[in-house]
Amino acid sequence: MLGNEAFDRDEIAQAHRTATIRRMTEYGGTILAVQDTTEVNYDNHLKTEGIGYISDKTLGVNVHTCLALTADGLVLGVLDQSSYNRSEAKDDSATHDSKKIRPIEEKESFRWLETLERSTADIPEGIKVITVCDREGDMYELFAKAASLNEPLLIRIVQNRMTVENKRILDEIHRTKSPQKKCQGRVGVTIPRDSRNSIPERDAVLQLR
């Protein structure tokens, strides 16, 4: 199939997206669009040419995927997927400052913005999509893109940014952890068993503050 010129990668991806949106419509309500990158390591394929590098000097392909999930964690399908790699091994001599001054369109992190735009396009009315990203998505450009599209965004924070009140956001969050702060809610989770330390599976109740 992969050698058949009648097959088009974009058409296959679009078929998955169409089926995913159909399931989203059937479910309705709030849908989580979760982005993340998976590294496919081909470092042992030394005789294969033209693979490219995923990081440092490791051969492979980076696959960036946006999955649609229900609030209960049921996977409905793929909303968007792209792949990228480097033609050469990572240049460790590049300085941090030289990376920062490049426009976002020239950075690998631009994939987060592209995926946000593609994954939320043409979603039927009545469905609320919340994009979820890990710490790599904590960047102003992604915030600006979400605001321009009027799309809700949930990011795992990593930068200790300033708030509009000129306070450090992580410092403010830590201050809300004091016992005097009222609990805003509780959620039950199941913690898998830890066979290495002989700890059985157990249930826990987390407090949100």
* Share of residues in the chain with pLDDT > 90 (%): 51
**Given a cut of 60, is residue 92 above it in pLDDT?**
no
Token pair belonging to 17: 């997206």
Q: Is the pLDDT of residue 99 over 60?
A: no
Task: Return the pLDDT at 172.
Answer: 83
> Hunting for tokens 């407090």 — which residue is that?
207
Placement of tokens 């690998």 in the chain? 108
pLDDT in tens, 160-185: 988 889 999 888 877 776 655 678 78
Of residues 7 and 113, more confidently modeled: 113
**How does the average pLDDT of the chain come out, rounded?**
87
pLDDT for 170 equals: 86
Nearest to 65 by CA among 134, 141, 147: 134
* Segment 148-159 mean pLDDT: 93
The stretch 3-23 carries a mean pLDDT of 86
> CA 131 to CA 147: how far, in whole Å?
12
DSSP bridge pairs for 191: 202
pLDDT at 175: 78
52 vs 44: CA distance, rounded Å: 13
The answer, as to whether pTM is greater than 0.95, is no
**For 144, phi and psi rounded to 5 degrees?**
-65, -40
Tens digits of per-residue pLDDT, 39-75? Answer: 999 888 878 787 888 877 888 999 999 999 999 899 9
